[in-house]
Structure 1
Amino acid sequence: MAQPGPSMQDLIRQRTRAGFVGRSAERALFRANFATALHDERHRFRFHVHGNAGVGKTFLVRELEQIAREQGALTAYVDDSAGSVPEVMAEISRQFAAQGHRLKELNRLLAAHEERRHEAALAALATLDGQAADTGPSTGGRAVARGGMIALGMVPVVGPLAGMLDAEQFAGGVDRFRESVMARFRNHEDVQLVFAPEQVLTPVLLRELADAAASAPWIALFLDTYERTAPYLDHWLHETMTTDRHGAVPATLVVVTAGQRPLGATRWGGVRDFVAEVPLAPFTEDEARGLLAGKGVTAEPVVEEVLRLSGGLPVLVSTLAESRPTDADDVGDPSATAVDRFLKWEQDPARRAAALSCALPRWLDGDVFRAAADCPEEELASLYTWLRGMPFVVERGGGRLRYHDVVRAPMLRAERRRSPREWAGRQRRLARTFREWREETGRGLEDLWADDTWRDLRQAEAYHLLCAGDRDALPQALRDFVHACGAGEVMAVRWARVLVDAGQDADAEPVAEWGRKLTTALDTESIAAALALLLSHAALDAPDQARARVIRGDELRGAGAYTDALAEYDRAVALDPDLAVAYRYRAGIRGDLGDHDAAIADLDRAVALEPNHAGYVALRGEHHRIARHDTEALRDLTEAIRLDPANDFAWASRGATHERRGDLDAALSDLGRSLDLKPDYAWALARRARVWRSLGDSARQLADLDRALALTPDWPWARCERGDALRTAGRDEEAVADLTHALALDPAYTSAYASRGASLAHLGRHTEALADLNRAVELRPTYVWALCRRAALHATMDQHQQARADVEHVRDLDPGALQRLPDPDRAVLGPFLTG
């Protein structure tokens, strides 16, 4: 239902705009851009506002947003409360919806991204260790390793690749990881939503922006606090705006960014003609006087005092003018404190006290204000309304309020110096409040560090304990940093920022130094580097060190540094022999390296420590399956199913074990149960296809492979499996297409070359067929099946000497293979088989 008049937010914005003074040139430049034709060389697609803290960037950006709306633009404003590209997109979508434009498909994918992100850790635990074909690493895996790519880009690399293993050693892990991830998640899109969400979300965002552009003359995005968001936004923004990788960007889109630094010349220097730099300096004296006059501050002594104290910084000029001071008796008083700069003309002691008290938290909402203000209940509502209207208080994402740093920092200094003991006491009281809220939030949560609200409250609690100077606060914050790293890079960066802020605000240099060092390590290297710094210099106890080494090992494993990762798991086990997850992760990397006996030994220990952990038991069963210990595999997988009957992974793995043992009815039953639990389980479909092949049911075999490839179209193994099925069914043209696709995905897939060579031979394309079979034998000289196919092809092409050489090679490797040749091959090779 349409509102009969302006909303509260509209009225607040109008009142805020009424006091906007200055920046006329900048506003005129932005407004004129809407009147400049899109093809005109003067039109700019991006504006970058930059200048020092307090210079008025956010005020100007908000004014530019209002100008854009006056031009009919659909707008969104995002700051550093969004910690990643998907979070930025979510905020854009939320604000567009409030203006009547819902981005439905983007919302669907953002919800899927959140769901998949939370599933990823569990999926990795359940499937990382063995869902590839039983025959070991493909040569394609070796090529991937040599190329420095991790599973065709499907592994979340968190830092520069370092400590790479020999390609042969690494290949098996690449193959297993690639197949397990592709098989576990719903489809290729789901995999990308976990590991590279921008690749899936950005094209959808652009399509929905194009749809919105059909009904709105302009679209304007405003990205504030760019000095903090650029590390994850700048590359994405440049790629989206200047390349076709994600699709077409509506020409009516205008992007405004604002940060403390100018744009980087390396990335943006080549497109300067499309970008307008908007540097901001402090207000000129005329601009400052104009703002003061607009507030009714005209007494010259008072004006001069404001100019002196503010240095022309707009946020300070506006704050000092807010109470419209007229008494100049104390102008120039040398005893004036830093707080007097901002509140010297505020006569209400309750307001002054509330402003000072509420500077202590890093962010405010109604509940935090109530806890911090320490004022009578009947005054809370009016004081909160007053504080929200102050120029130095800005609203960030999620409705939270924050003081401007230029104002908050001196307020904190003044309060800390005025009464250090009272300062510490107030900080502890706030810490207790946040702890109570955190404990309430955490009741019933299985994984506390996976819950955003719980983590926010934990951060706030840690910040106030650090500010209070509690003896255990820094060691505890560093221990928490370990858990934050386990929750991902964005959370690790935010936790390091807690240390930086607390160190600066409490003048606690050891805390600030830790924050700076951890931030630098995260920005320039990786989580693994930050944890290495922590392990080298922090006083962590043995269990905390062990957990840090497990997380660091997992990061190194994801980056391909297997030797270093294994060493970290070894250290973790030595530090805390009862840490089950350390054994589980070490088992994973040992499986990657092909040492399944050692992996099983580690999982024995993990299961002994947590005997009812269905995931650990199922993984041990899977390692037994890969190692061809079928009896032990069936034992463990059956136990895992007893512990967790909904474990689709255990059902599928047991089905694959039955299939290899020849118990096809049991295999069909188990794989069917797995697919009942997870109908889009591509790996289970591909495994069931093998059962249908053994039963001679090519129609059902192809149907399952079709479904598997519909879910994971870029899965080389399934492509090769279907290519073989099509070849066996005499559909060689289709087989060649699938096998060619598999080789495009994995250019060194040995069996794909052999199978394609066989199909090409059936089609009479002998020269191409021979090239493929030669390549297969080159990659695997003992590949008996390919040697047999090549021998038959040589004989067909009257290359008798080569045919005889291949037959003799096969006879040396596997004499029985010659007896198992299909009749057409035996016919053409007859003279060579008896010679």
Structure 2
Amino acid sequence: MSRDPGAVVQVAGRRPTRQEVNRRHERTGFVGRRSELAVFRETFARDPEEPDFPFLFHVRGNGGVGKSTLVRQWESTAREQASVVTAYVDDDVHDVFEAMEAVSARLSKQGHPLKRFDKQLATYRQRRHQAESAVPAPQPDPPAGRPDAPVPAASPSSMVAAQVGLVGLGMVPGVGAFVGAVDPQQVALGADRVRAALNMRLRSHDDVQLVMNPVAALAPVFLEDLAEVAERCERVVLFFDVYERTGPLLDAWLHATVFGEEYGGLPVNVQVVLSGQLPLDTRVWGDRLGQVTEVSLEVFTEEEARTLLAAHGVTDEPSVELVLRLSGRLPLLVDMLARSDPGRGRGMGDPSETAVERFLKWEPDTERREAALACALPLQIDEDIYRAVVPEAAAQGYAWLRGLAFVSPQAGRCRYHDVVRAAMLRLQRTRSPARWQQAHTGLAELFRRLRSAAEAELGTDPDDHWADAAWREHRLNETYHRLCAHPRTALPGALRESACAVDHDVATLRRWAQIIGRAGLDTDSAALSSWGHRLEAAAEQERPASAALTLILGAPEPDADGRALVYTIRAAERRGAGDEEGALADCEAAVALAPDTARPHAGLGETYRLLGRHEEAVAACTRALGIDPLYVLAYGSRGDAYRSLGRHEEALADFLRAVEIDPRYAWAYGSRAQVYEAMGRQEDALADYDRATEVDPRYEWAIGSRAQLFERMGRYEEALADYDRAVEIDPQYAWAYASRARTYEAMGRHEEALADYARAVGIVPGYAWAYGSRARLHESMDRHEEALADYGRAIEAHPGYVWAATSRGELYERLGRNEEALADLDRAVGLDPSSEWALCARARVYLRLGRHEEAVADCVRTVEIDAEDGWNQMLYAVALRVAGDGQGAEARFGRALRSFTALDEGGGEKAVDARQGLLVLACARLDTGAAAARCEALLGIGEDLIEETVEDLLFLREALPEAGPGVEAAVRRLREAL
């Protein structure tokens, strides 16, 4: 049974709200556009699952034809239906996630919040602020160890750095210091993702993805929440007005949301309405234009115009003819002119006057006429701004202003229609340039005072200022009015602010570009208009920050201090893109232009640090701190440089100073914890991770790093608790699932480990480290085919993944598939010619294939890299003996003996590795008595290490058959112990 789609539905026994009554009144007072109203209203009597249901409208027409008015009427129509919610978005948004946020806010006011989206958005903003303001984290150096031991975490090698433009991944949880070869963790993000983490400002893969590509991370959550609202409501209608401005920013997202599947499915009962002056971009919408319901608006017909005039009491023919002639039947002007003379019998006077002048003359109150003109100058008006700009006699007239036909409400404020505002501005600018300049200067001063008041609460850190939306709004308005008052002299400052806007985010850059262009339009300044257009174009480039900053640097307007700032900001952008050499050139230019400013020196220090030039980093940061002793980020960079130099006490002092300046500097606590870890002060490290999480209870990196430390300490239950907390904070935190899997693996809970690895790669399908780690687990469970498949996936996800190539090569070797092993090891050595692990593995394969000279060549390279490694020397000796050089072999066996003996005497974990080596060495030298003694010394070291030793012994028997009897006896004794 269908209902009347135009009826106001009222629950029995409940009075309507004032808003419902207002909407009903607005609708009954709306004149014209009957067919346009009907085409939308009729959709509420239809089933949205019908194939030809009009789910996407595009309202199109020139400025002033009434698009926004019609769309507001459509929204009123929708809100009058039972269980229909709406969201209205206009040009207050400057990117996709601001649009999603606006939708969420509107729906929340109607009792349907998008809770998960709002939570994820809050996380995004927090992480983005960290990425903008935090210093890169320490990058621990890996200790020496067995090169062929699979390890859960280690620092990236120089090969990985060359491949993906990294200096290190020390801030990413899991990239710590265990032992051995390059761990899969080093390349977990892949080259395409790691670049965003070059400054080590974010410590989790998912945070990097969230900040690097917020739309891809937020849009699916937005759609999931929207689907839940749609389940509870009969219809959800989303309105996107002023689409000629927002379309270039929202087109791709909206097209994907409505027609694509990358973000998820759009509920069938969601309607989308676009409204703007321009046709839809065929490059985006061309394949779907047939599914768009176009609603074209033209000027009023004469009948519609006369009807509207009659509704306002304007019926005398001379007045009607004059309005029709002055307005061109443009609905906005028809309505405005009609309201100005509501049938009071006065003639309209001289028709040569402009519509704006006529309107002001018809208002009998002189003060109100001045107020109407004055209020055209601000971009938006609230009651405080109104009182500040109008004559004192009109100070109580804000309600009157809001009732004018060309004034529309917007988020608690109001704004003039562009057509009327442009005419009023033009009138004032040409009538009295001096008064124009004075008025805009006064407004600039008003917004400066509001900005200063905000700064008094925010503190002195410029990053905190730019992170505050209210402060940015005041600064933006101040900039606009200074440009209007003095277009030429205010431009350098506006360009400097544009560089700071770049440093904040691209949406803020767009705002500054638009405001410069708007000032150019309103002042008829070609220079400002050109800058606005060029900066807007830069904001759409692949690297918008670099494009905009380079554009500013190529202009003559900025002064020396301004150019130094722009160079400094571009250096930070280049560091983030992996271009440290370019960043270095920019920092040097900045320091030359502003030698007495702290920030360029600090940027230079950070760049030196990323280049591994730590002494120079310390010197540059010290110069920065000499200029500004409270520059907390310089303490952080210098502290990390000290850590890299092994100067731990000085690093601790700098981090201590950082938290004294800013006790809520969570990053500094976490970074100091890493220094404590490097010093072996694990309890102190735990205490600092605790402090970091007290400051920020949702600081996943600190929670994950503490979990990792618990894991290293063998405190697996506490590690699991922290990993559980991390995934509770962020259910899409792939790194935490993979790391928890590693802990389960260490506890022997293999099926739970496999389940967590599956979750990790389900969230991030290209998660190379998770594939590599799962391959290692499969291998330990003798699931060789599954292991080979996962190693393959890891290499496919990251072709430069030395660890995976070497590991798969060794597995092929154990399976007797030596040619395939050789191919993988060739690949690994090609990627990292200094990898002792890969070289040793390839040398073994060469020996198995009888290619003795090539085996010797690889062994020569391993001892050139590390002559003190006993395993390198012993393998070299075996290769020499097989190649027929017995004398050379004995010399190398002697070197191996000295290395292993020294480590054995030193005790600790290295002593166990040395005892394994001494057993294999005794068998290689055919010393059965020593071999038997060494066997006894190894009993009780653990099943895994015994199996590892057996594997080494069996290779020795294959390479040196004469060692067979001793090897067999040793293997038999070790296996008896198991």
TM norm structure 1: 0.84
Pairwise CA distance, 1:439: 1.6
Matches within 5 A, 1:404-443: 404-443=417-456
Cα deviation 1:97-153 (Å, max 9, x = unaligned): 222222221222222223223222123x2339789987654656655579xxx99xx
Cα deviation 1:696-731 (Å, max 9, x = unaligned): 889999998997633885696964895698599778
Q: SS state of the match for residue 278, structure 1?
A: strand
Cα deviation 1:766-816 (Å, max 9, x = unaligned): 776665444323433443223434555677xxx441477436522552263
Matches within 5 A, 1:58-77: 58-72=68-82, 73-77=84-88
Pairwise CA distance, 1:311: 1.1
Counterpart of 2:429, as a letter, is: R
Tell me the equivalent position of 1:500.
Answer: 517
Counterpart of 1:104, as a letter, is: K
- Tell me, in whole angstroms, the C-alpha distance in 2 between the residues paired with 1:607 and 1:134: 32
Cα deviation 1:12-51 (Å, max 9, x = unaligned): 4333323322222222222333444445443222111122
Tell me the equivalent position of 1:755.
Answer: 807
Tell me the equivalent position of 1:49.
Answer: 59
Q: SS state of the match for residue 254, structure 1?
A: strand
Percent identity of the aligned residues? 39
- Kindly indicate whether the alpha-carbon contact (under 8 Å) linking 1:617 and 1:637 is maintained by their aligned counterparts in 2: no
Q: SS state of the match for residue 222, structure 1?
A: strand
Tell me the equivalent position of 1:710.
Answer: 737
Q: Residues 128 and 745 of structure 1: is their aligned pair in 2 closer, same or farther, counting only changes over 3 Å? A: farther
Cα deviation 1:288-344 (Å, max 9, x = unaligned): 112112222221111111111111211111111113443676546145244234344
Tell me the equivalent position of 1:33.
Answer: 43
- Kindly indicate whether the alpha-carbon contact (under 8 Å) linking 2:669 and 2:692 is maintained by their aligned counterparts in 1: no
Tell me the equivalent position of 1:387.
Answer: 401
Higher RCO by CA contacts (8 Å cutoff, separation 6 or greater): 1
Q: Residues 688 and 74 of structure 1: is their aligned pair in 2 closer, same or farther, counting only changes over 3 Å? A: closer
- Tell me, in whole angstroms, the C-alpha distance in 2 between the residues paired with 1:697 and 1:765: 39
Counterpart of 1:636, as a letter, is: A
Matches within 5 A, 1:200-239: 200-239=217-256
Counterpart of 1:828, as a letter, is: F
Counterpart of 1:315, as a letter, is: L
Matches within 5 A, 1:474-493: 474-493=491-510
- Tell me, in whole angstroms, the C-alpha distance in 2 between the residues paired with 1:804 and 1:599: 45
- Kindly indicate whether the alpha-carbon contact (under 8 Å) linking 1:587 and 1:603 is maintained by their aligned counterparts in 2: yes
- Kindly indicate whether the alpha-carbon contact (under 8 Å) linking 1:86 and 1:197 is maintained by their aligned counterparts in 2: yes
User: Which stretch of structure 1 is more off in the superposition, 642-651 or 732-741?
Assistant: 732-741
Q: Number of paired residues?
A: 797
- Tell me, in whole angstroms, the C-alpha distance in 2 between the residues paired with 1:316 and 1:79: 22
- Kindly indicate whether the alpha-carbon contact (under 8 Å) linking 1:131 and 1:179 is maintained by their aligned counterparts in 2: no
- Kindly indicate whether the alpha-carbon contact (under 8 Å) linking 1:76 and 1:220 is maintained by their aligned counterparts in 2: yes
Pairwise CA distance, 1:181: 7.5
- Tell me, in whole angstroms, the C-alpha distance in 2 between the residues paired with 1:307 and 1:759: 86
Q: 1:275 aligns with which of 281, 292, 310?
A: 292
Q: 2:569 aligns with which of 551, 567, 574?
A: 551
Tell me the equivalent position of 2:692.
Answer: 677
Alignment of 1:827 with 2:954, yes or no, is: yes
Q: Residues 639 and 723 of structure 1: is their aligned pair in 2 closer, same or farther, counting only changes over 3 Å? A: farther
Q: SS state of the match for residue 347, structure 1?
A: coil
Pairwise CA distance, 1:179: 6.1
Q: Residues 786 and 672 of structure 1: is their aligned pair in 2 closer, same or farther, counting only changes over 3 Å? A: farther
Pairwise CA distance, 1:642: 4.5
Q: Which has the larger radius of gyration?
A: 2
Q: SS state of the match for residue 75, structure 1?
A: strand
Q: Residues 192 and 181 of structure 1: is their aligned pair in 2 closer, same or farther, counting only changes over 3 Å? A: farther
Q: SS state of the match for residue 42, structure 1?
A: coil
Alignment of 1:809 with 2:823, yes or no, is: no
Matches within 5 A, 1:179-258: 184-185=202-203, 187-258=204-275
User: Which stretch of structure 1 is more off in the superposition, 773-782 or 239-248?
Assistant: 773-782
Cα deviation 1:725-764 (Å, max 9, x = unaligned): 8599778779778766654542321012223444566678
Pairwise CA distance, 1:264: 0.9
Counterpart of 2:507, as a letter, is: V
Pairwise CA distance, 1:568: 1.9
Q: SS state of the match for residue 801, structure 1?
A: coil
Pairwise CA distance, 1:617: 3.2
Q: Residues 484 and 386 of structure 1: is their aligned pair in 2 closer, same or farther, counting only changes over 3 Å? A: same
Q: Residues 298 and 547 of structure 1: is their aligned pair in 2 closer, same or farther, counting only changes over 3 Å? A: same
Counterpart of 1:340, as a letter, is: E
Query: For structure 1, which runs of at least 5 residues remain unmatched after alignment?
Result: 155-170
Q: SS state of the match for residue 66, structure 1?
A: helix
- Tell me, in whole angstroms, the C-alpha distance in 1 between the residues paired with 2:193 and 2:49: 49
Alignment of 1:644 with 2:644, yes or no, is: no
Alignment of 1:83 with 2:104, yes or no, is: no
- Tell me, in whole angstroms, the C-alpha distance in 2 between the residues paired with 1:380 and 1:701: 64
Cα deviation 1:262-289 (Å, max 9, x = unaligned): 0011211111232112222211212211
Pairwise CA distance, 1:569: 1.9
- Tell me, in whole angstroms, the C-alpha distance in 1 between the residues paired with 2:125 and 2:489: 35
- Tell me, in whole angstroms, the C-alpha distance in 2 between the residues paired with 1:64 and 1:788: 74
Matches within 5 A, 1:652-663: none
- Tell me, in whole angstroms, the C-alpha distance in 2 between the residues paired with 1:513 and 1:580: 33
Q: Residues 500 and 216 of structure 1: is their aligned pair in 2 closer, same or farther, counting only changes over 3 Å? A: same
- Tell me, in whole angstroms, the C-alpha distance in 1 between the residues paired with 2:822 and 2:399: 81
Tell me the equivalent position of 2:547.
Answer: 529
Cα deviation 1:573-631 (Å, max 9, x = unaligned): 111123332233334444444444544443343344344545323323433444xx31x
Q: Residues 340 and 701 of structure 1: is their aligned pair in 2 closer, same or farther, counting only changes over 3 Å? A: closer
Q: Residues 477 and 702 of structure 1: is their aligned pair in 2 closer, same or farther, counting only changes over 3 Å? A: closer
Q: SS state of the match for residue 320, structure 2?
A: helix
Counterpart of 2:399, as a letter, is: T
- Tell me, in whole angstroms, the C-alpha distance in 1 between the residues paired with 2:852 and 2:778: 23
Tell me the equivalent position of 1:163.
Answer: none
Query: For structure 2, which runs of at least 5 residues remain unmatched after alignment?
Result: 1-10, 143-152, 173-188, 727-734, 740-759, 875-895, 897-916, 921-947, 963-978
Counterpart of 1:75, as a letter, is: T
Q: 1:783 aligns with which of 835, 838, 841?
A: 835
Q: SS state of the match for residue 136, structure 2?
A: helix
- Kindly indicate whether the alpha-carbon contact (under 8 Å) linking 2:448 and 2:474 is maintained by their aligned counterparts in 1: yes
Matches within 5 A, 1:282-681: 282-326=299-343, 330-331=347-348, 333-376=350-393, 380-381=395-396, 383-396=397-410, 398-445=411-458, 446=460, 447=462, 448-469=465-486, 472-523=489-540, 526-626=544-644, 629-630=645-646, 632-644=647-659, 649=667, 664=680, 666-667=681-682, 669-670=684-685, 673-674=688-689, 676-678=691-693
- Tell me, in whole angstroms, the C-alpha distance in 2 between the residues paired with 1:232 and 1:659: 46
